[in-house]
């Protein structure tokens, strides 16, 4: 294992120290837990607090989107590990501005369990808490039971839309409705040509031959649902898009947001080539692109790969996506 680290068991704490030093105008530690990171101006009175969290290793997610128009607090776990209950609870306490708290999370057993427990404890303290779970990963299978799927880069779009709703001063029920609407209309699938290495493990999460790719990978470095021969990227994009488009399904006349998300070690040069092909394929299906994002939004350490997300959008979602945001890794005016 070759990494620019010190002690593998101190990676997250040292990362947070560096992040907060650079981004003090956006975020700070909550007083009650070192892994509870909140908006610098938290709590913001008169708005719903939007709180998320998960394992570290997904930079710029999750902490990179703390700020006005997106997230109020993030509970940080170890690499690809759920944050502890006390960290989630402290995020809720520190972010609560009087209008309730919406917990947004991916569909991982540890996250669900720990966020549930934190929500119960917060409610016992008199804080109104609701939850919404992302399940956008087509690569996880479960076509007949989509509620069992993982939440991956579609979570970024949920944070953006819910953050915009909360910033407007909308009630908790409306902010949760938007989370569920985005999730219902978003689908993602990824592919990788090289794994990542979790520092504490010291070895790759899987091994690929030089001419192989892993299809349907998750964002925790786990293998996908199939191992196939590496092909030109146009063919890979067509294959991923076919599975994503047919899962909702998306139809001619739909308007969508596209998200080409690098998984940590894929150059922008290659991501833009993938975007080019995705645009061509959607145009051939009569599907219009209303907004496109290309870059690293939800990574898996240094995994070489990318994912494709489509979000079916209407006027309401278009306005929320376009709404102002001021965070370390997304600024819109």
129 half-sphere exposure, CB direction, 13 A CA radius: 25
Tokens (6 digits) for 106: 């991916």
β-pair partners for 105: 133
For residues 321 and 274, give the distance between their C-alpha atoms in angstroms, rounded to a whole number. 22
| Annotated active-site residue in 58, 96, 147, 219 | 58
For residues 216 and 226, give the distance between their C-alpha atoms in angstroms, rounded to a whole number. 7
Helix/strand/coil (H/E/C) assignment for every residue in the chain: CCCCCCCHHHHHHHHHHHHHHHCCCCEEECCCCCCEEEECCCCCCCCCEEEEEEEECCCCCCHHHECECCECEEEEEEECCCCCHHHHHHHHHHHCCCCCEEEEEECCHHHHHHHHHHHHHHHHCCCCEEEEEECCEHHHCCCCCHHHCCCCCHHHHHHHHHHHHHHCCCCHHHHHHHHHHHHHCEEEEEEEEECCECCCCCCECCCCCCCEEEECCCCCCCCCCEEEECCCHHHHHHHHHHHHHHHCCCCCCCEEEEEEEECECCCHHHHHHHHHHHHHHHHHCCCEEEEEEEECCCCCCCEEEEEEEEEECCHHHHHHHHCCEECCCCEEC
| Annotated active-site residue in 33, 96, 219, 220 | 220
User: Has 96 been annotated as catalytic?
Assistant: no
User: Has 147 been annotated as catalytic?
Assistant: no
Catalytic residues: 58, 220
């Amino acid at each position: 294992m070759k990494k620019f680290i010190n002690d593998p068991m101190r990676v997250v704490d040292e990362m947070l120290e560096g992040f907060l030093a650079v981004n003090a105008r956006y975020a700070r530690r909550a007083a009650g837990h070192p892994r509870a990171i909140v908006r610098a101006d938290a709590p913001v009175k008169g708005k719903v607090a939007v709180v998320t969290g998960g394992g570290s290793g997904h930079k710029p997610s999750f902490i990179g989107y703390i700020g006005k128009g997106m997230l109020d607090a993030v509970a940080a776990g170890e690499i690809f590990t759920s944050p502890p209950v006390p960290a989630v609870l402290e995020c809720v306490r520190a972010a609560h501005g009087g209008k309730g708290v919406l917990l947004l999370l991916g569909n991982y057993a540890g996250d669900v369990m720990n966020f549930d427990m934190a929500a119960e404890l917060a409610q016992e303290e008199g804080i109104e808490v609701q939850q919404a779970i992302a399940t956008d990963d087509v690569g996880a299978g479960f076509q007949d039971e989509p509620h069992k799927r993982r939440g991956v880069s579609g979570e970024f779009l949920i944070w953006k839309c819910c953050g915009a709703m909360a910033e407007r001063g909308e009630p908790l029920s409306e902010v949760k409705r938007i989370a569920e609407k985005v999730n219902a209309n978003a689908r993602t699938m990824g592919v990788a040509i090289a794994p990542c290495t979790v520092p504490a493990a010291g070895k790759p999460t899987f091994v690929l031959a030089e001419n192989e790719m892993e299809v349907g990978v998750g964002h925790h470095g786990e293998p996908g649902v199939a191992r196939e021969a590496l092909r030109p990227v146009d063919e890979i994009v067509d294959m991923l898009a076919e599975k994503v488009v047919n899962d909702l399904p998306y139809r001619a006349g739909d308007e969508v947001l596209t998200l080409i998300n690098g998984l940590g070690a894929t150059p922008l040069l290659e991501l833009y080539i993938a975007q080019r092909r995705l645009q061509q394929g959607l145009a051939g299906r009569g599907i219009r692109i209303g907004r496109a994002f290309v870059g690293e939004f939800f990574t898996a350490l240094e995994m070489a790969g990318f994912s494709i997300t489509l979000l079916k959008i209407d006027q309401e979602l278009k306005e929320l996506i376009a709404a102002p945001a001021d965070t370390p890794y997304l600024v819109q005016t």
